[in-house]
């Protein structure tokens, strides 16, 4: 059976890609679905040379994988990956990304979450963006919208660019990263009216552990329903 692949992107850095991906992974586990999260490109590591986002995906994945398979391209400095690649003279090779994707698709999984880095138009070389590779691999996209002042513009720019690239935006999540955001519900309603893809759910700022578990199941169930509808 083919693996359901999803590329998880966001309106910006720190919009919550890893957090939402980890919730989806927890939800899939609660539903009894085999799922894993991977981080093809990361920048910023601990003293052991490991990236925190990749480690969090490993923590919540339903399949134990070696770190190098979860995060095949990793740079120590917490900067734009293509700039880190220039500094270290270790270029981001799309052939390496494609090989990693082929390997992930051979795993005994129902769902594979491929988390991007930064926002949608992440440069990976002088003329290429990670979005170009995502489009060529025909990966369906899940968008995390970091709910804060300015998110309407960021969200719609991202949605338009995803559509322009030929990718399918299958769903989005409203992740409330600013607890003081004015007119939060009005902003969410506005985005629901503007974005054709369904909203999997609204994740409040720092939900309690019990609420977080229920949210995880809700998000995973909503994405599963979309998968079943499209089959």
Catalytic residues: 39
Q: What are the Cα distances from residue 179, in Å, to 12, 129, 208?
A: 17, 32, 14
Is the distance from CB of 98 to CB of 128 less than 8 angstroms?
A: no
Per-residue b or e along 67-96, where b marks 16 or more CB atoms closer than 10 Å to that residue's CB: beebbbbbbeeeebbbebbeeeeeebebee
d(CA 61, CA 123): 27
Q: How many CB atoms sit inside 10 A of residue 33's CB?
A: 19
CB-based contact 79:51 (threshold 8 Å): no
Alpha-carbon distance of 44 to 194, in angstroms, equals: 35
Instruction: Provide the token pair at 77.
Output: 């400095």
Q: Packing angle between helix 184-194 and helix 151-164, nearest 10 degrees?
A: 20
Q: Is residue 152 within 8 Å of 189, Cβ to Cβ?
A: no
Beta bridge partners of 113: 6, 37
């Amino acid at each position: 059976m083919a693996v359901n692949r999803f590329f998880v992107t966001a309106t910006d850095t720190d919009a919550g890609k890893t957090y939402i991906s980890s919730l989806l992974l927890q939800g899939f586990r609660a539903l009894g679905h085999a799922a894993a999260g991977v981080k093809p490109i990361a920048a910023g590591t601990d003293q052991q040379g490991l990236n925190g986002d990749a480690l969090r995906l490993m923590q919540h994945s339903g399949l134990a994988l070696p770190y190098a398979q979860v995060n095949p391209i990793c740079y120590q400095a917490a900067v734009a990956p293509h700039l880190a690649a220039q500094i270290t003279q270790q270029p981001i090779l799309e052939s390496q990304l494609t090989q990693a994707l082929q390997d992930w698709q051979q795993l005994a999984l129902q769902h594979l979450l491929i988390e991007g880095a930064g926002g949608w138009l992440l440069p990976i070389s002088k003329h290429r963006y990670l979005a170009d590779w995502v489009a060529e691999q025909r990966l369906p996209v899940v968008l995390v919208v970091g709910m804060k002042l300015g998110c309407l513009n960021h969200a719609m720019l991202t949605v338009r660019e995803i559509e322009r690239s030929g990718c399918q935006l299958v769903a989005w999540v409203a992740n409330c990263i600013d607890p003081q955001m004015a007119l939060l519900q009005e902003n969410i309603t506005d985005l629901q009216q503007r974005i054709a893809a369904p909203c999997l759910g609204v994740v409040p700022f720092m939900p309690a552990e019990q609420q977080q578990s229920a949210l995880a199941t809700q998000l995973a169930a909503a994405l599963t329903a979309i998968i079943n509808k499209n089959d």
